[in-house]
Amino acid sequence: MSTANNEIILNVVDLKKYFPIKQGFLVKKTVAHVKAVDGISFHVVKGKTFALVGESGCGKTTVARTVLRVLNPTSGKIVFESTDISNLRYAQLLPFRRRMQIVFQDPMGSLNPRMTVGQIVTEPMLFHKVVKNKKEAYEKAASILNTVGLKSFHLDRYPHQFSGGQRQRIAIARAVSIEPDFLILDEPTSALDVSVQAQIINLLLKFQQEYGFSYLFISHDLGLVRFISDTVGIMYLGRIVERGVTNEVFDKPLHPYSRALLSACPVPDPRVERGRQRIILKGGVPSPIVRPQGCFFHPRCPYKTDVCEKEYPEFREVSKNHWVACHLVK
Ligand SMILES: Nc1ncnc2c1ncn2[C@@H]1O[C@H](COP(=O)(O)OP(=O)(O)OP(=O)(O)O)[C@@H](O)[C@H]1O
Ligand SMILES: [Mg+2]
């Protein structure tokens, strides 16, 4: 990841989030932990996009919720610009809450069905006092709705009166209404069909170009990640196994898991596509409660050696800005 001349907006260092599993009838005791996020580090450069990819359950949404401090981290640092926000209390967090926003996968679940679009979009503006009064908030909301491709008469309608794509536009309008610098997009288009997906992605890119937004983009869709992101981290069972500039990681993935995952992503050149081989992984993702000894990926890895069964590999920078955790990569 190039950092030399670039300002970093978000720096996450060795972040961990464990969820306790409690058992017992009257007295509940912690018997184990779900290690949803287990020591991950990455940064987002101002005005750029960092993507997190990985199988379902590997901890992507937990990273998003912990970075926003909806969840408290078990340990690690979350540095926004130059402030460590990992231990800030509610009142101290408020200014950062205004600057960091999230758009979720399911717009119906993230919009209050009893509020009109006008109330939904103006509420954060009034709460964070970015406008003087309700009238100004509604004027601003109407202009934002136009920017996201909706009309001002939509302000009086309720979320159920819109299509999925329109609802996602409302969620984006609400997120950008308070002029944040940093947005987390947690699978923002996975519930939408391809053409609506393209419209939403173009809208997000337009915002990035016009207002310099920085994005943490979470997705299963590898084609989309390649298109939208500058840098990428590949997650497996709560850890990042490979991280680097998107084009380099996609062209030359080094970790066996990344190779398998990216072999499923089609290449636009038909000659290259014809010669490519899909790597089919055997077995499922192990449990984040009882993880394998050694490298977490070794039970599914076709290249594993003795050391892979014993030690978790160090996360090393193997070439400039290209980091990987694998014993076999020299
Ligand atoms: N509040 C919670 N309590 C206990 N376990 C949790 C909690 N939230 C998430 N988990 C567990 O943490 C792990 C990671 O979940 P997370 O939602 O972060 O995965 P994800 O990568 O976002 O998956 P998906 O791609 O399906 O959205 C899962 O095993 C999940 O069951
Ligand atoms: Mg998720």
Backbone angles phi, psi at 62, to 5 degrees: -65, -40
Q: Find, among 54, 49, 70, 63, the residue nearest to 15 by Cα.
A: 63
Average pLDDT, integer, range 87-96: 92
Average pLDDT, integer, range 32-39: 93
Average pLDDT, integer, range 49-59: 93
**Residue 151: both structure tokens together:** 């009309």
Q: What whole-number percentage of the chain has pLDDT above 70?
A: 98
Q: Find, among 174, 179, 64, the residue nearest to 111 by Cα.
A: 174
19, 189, 190, best to mutate for ligand 1 pocket (most atoms within 8 Å of CB): 19
Pocket-forming residues, ligand 1, beta carbon under 6 Å: 19, 34, 36, 56-62, 288
How far does Cα 292 stand from its chain's mean position? 25
CA distance 40 to 15: 5
Q: What's the half-sphere exposure (Cβ side, CA atoms, 13 Å) at 80? A: 24
Binning pLDDT at 50, 70 and 90, where does residue 24 land?
A: confident
Name 47's Cβ contacts closer than 8 Å, sequence gap at least 6. Answer: 208, 212, 213, 214
Ligand 1 center–CA 194 separation, angstroms: 26
Calculate the alpha carbon distances from 301 to 13, 72, 133, 259 in Å.
27, 33, 59, 11
C-alpha radius of gyration, the chain, whole number: 21
33, 34, 35, best to mutate for ligand 1 pocket (most atoms within 8 Å of CB): 34
**Residue 185: both structure tokens together:** 């997009």
33, 60, 285, best to mutate for ligand 1 pocket (most atoms within 8 Å of CB): 60
Burial of residue 245 (CB within 10 Å: 0-12, 13-18, 19+) is: middle
Mean pLDDT of the chain: 90
pLDDT digits (tens, 9 = 90+) for 266-300: 777 777 767 777 777 777 778 888 889 999 999 99
Domains of the chain: 8-114+158-324 (3.40.50.300)
Q: List strands edge to edge, sheet with 239-245.
A: 100-103, 182-186, 214-218, 49-53, 231-236, 239-245, 322-324, 316-319
Instruction: Please report the pLDDT score of residue 4 as a whole number.
Output: 47
Cβ < 5 A residues, ion ligand 2: 61
- Helices and strands in the chain, H and E counts: 12, 12
| Cβ-based neighbour number of residue 225 at 10 Å | 23
Per-residue DSSP letter, 116: -
pLDDT at 130 over 80: yes
pLDDT digits (tens, 9 = 90+) for 225-269: 999 999 999 999 999 999 999 999 999 999 999 999 888 777 777
pLDDT digits (tens, 9 = 90+) for 182-207: 999 999 888 777 888 888 899 899 98
Asked whether 186 and 168 are in contact (CB, 8 A), the reply is no
Binning pLDDT at 50, 70 and 90, where does residue 1 land?
A: very low
- Strand partners for 186: 218
How far does Cα 34 stand from its chain's mean position? 20
| Cβ-based neighbour number of residue 319 at 10 Å | 11
Residue type, 312: Y
